[in-house]
Amino acid sequence: MTEAAIFLVVTVDSGAEDVVAETLPDFTGLVRSVASRSVEAHLTCVVGIGSALWDRLFSGPRPDGLHPFIPLAGDIHTAPSTPGDMLFHIRGGRMDVCFEMATQLMSAFGDGVRVVDEVHGFRYFDMRDIIGFVDGTENPDGPAATVAVSITDEPDFVGGSYVIVQKYLHDMDAWNALSTEEQENAIGRSKWDNIEQDDDTKPTNSHTALTVIEDENGVQQQIMRDNMPFGRVGSDEFGTYFIGYAAHPSVTEEMLTNMFIGKPPGNHDRILDFSTAVTGGLFFVPSVEFLDDPPLLDDESATDQTTAEPDESHRDADPSAAVTPSTPSDPGDGSLGIGALKPR
C-alpha cells in the first residue's frame, strides 16, 4: 500500500468524445512528466474505461468482460451501480504529487469531463482499515499478482485488466460498540496479529469466509485489492474505497454476490451490517501499448456515436432486482503494470 491515493470517477459529456480521444494517447506522457518532478514519490496512475464510453470512443473488438456494474440486492443490503465513464487510480508516496496528477489530468481532458466521485485515501498505520483490521492480506504477490490481474485470453486486449470499485461508508459508532471478539468474528481474523480463524471457528457469514473463491478443482481464484481508507472528521464520514483488479470481472462479481446475496442466499457478509456501499463501477484497464495507439473511431463513426443516445443502462439500473453474476470457469515495484505508469 502506498502512503496516498486519489480515486477519480468521471463522466464524459455528449460531444466531448473528440477531446477525450485526442487526449488518451498523451496520457502516458503526462503521467511520466508529473512523476519525473518527484521520482522518490513513485507516482503511478491507472485509467479505466467504462462500458458506456467504450463504444463512443473505440472501433474494432470490445473487451469480453466489459459491461455496466451489476447491481446486487440481498434481503437486507444492496450494492448500487452508479455513473462512471472513466476511472483514474492515482497512487504514490506523497499526496501532493497525487494531487498534482489529478489536477493535470482534469485540465488535459477539459470541461466536458465531470468528476462524479473523488476520494482521497491514505495509509493508516500498518496497512489497516479505519475499522482497525489489516486490509489486503490475501493479495497475491510477485508473478502470481501478474497472473491474477492480466488478461491473456483476449488477443486484442492482452496485458489489460478489469477493475471494480465501490465506496463504502462505515457506521463507526455501531462498529466500535462491538466487542473485539464480535469484530473478529465479522472479519474472520484476529484483530491484533491478523491471523485467520480456522474453519471450525470462523463464522460462515464472516468476510473472509464469503470472499474466498475457488474453481471446480478447488484452486483459489485471486484478485488484487488496492483498498484505501479515507475520512472527513467534520462530516463524520469514514470509509474504505474498495478497488479490485482481476483478469476477468466474474471473480470479483462472485465475491460481491456472496457478500450481498449471501452463500447460501440470506447468509450475507456480517461486515455489511456496519458498512454501506454507496457507489459501484466496472472498468476495463487498457495496457500502455493500447493507450499509446488506441483504435479510435473515424470521424464519420464518431459523429454517429455522438449524436446517438449514449448507453444509460448503468445509470438507471434497478438495485432492487438482484442479479447473480456467473462463476468464471508483477513487475516487482508495487505497481500493477497494466496501464500503470511509472517513470522510465
Catalytic residue among 85, 135, 226, 269: 135
Burial 189-222 (b: 16+ CB within 10 A, else e): bbbeeeebbeeeebbebbbbbbbebeeeeeeebb
Active-site residue flag, 153:
no
**CB 244, CB 163: distance < 8 Å:** yes
Helix (H, G, I), strand (E, B) or coil at 190: coil
- In this structure, are residues 140 and 247 in contact, taking their beta carbons and an 8 Å threshold? no
Q: How far apart are CA 77 and CA 75, in angstroms?
A: 6
**Amino acid making up residue 87:** L
Q: How many residues does the chain have?
A: 344
Type of residue at 156: D
* 100 Cβ neighbours under 8 A, 6+ residues apart: 34, 37
What are the residue numbers of the active site? Answer: 135
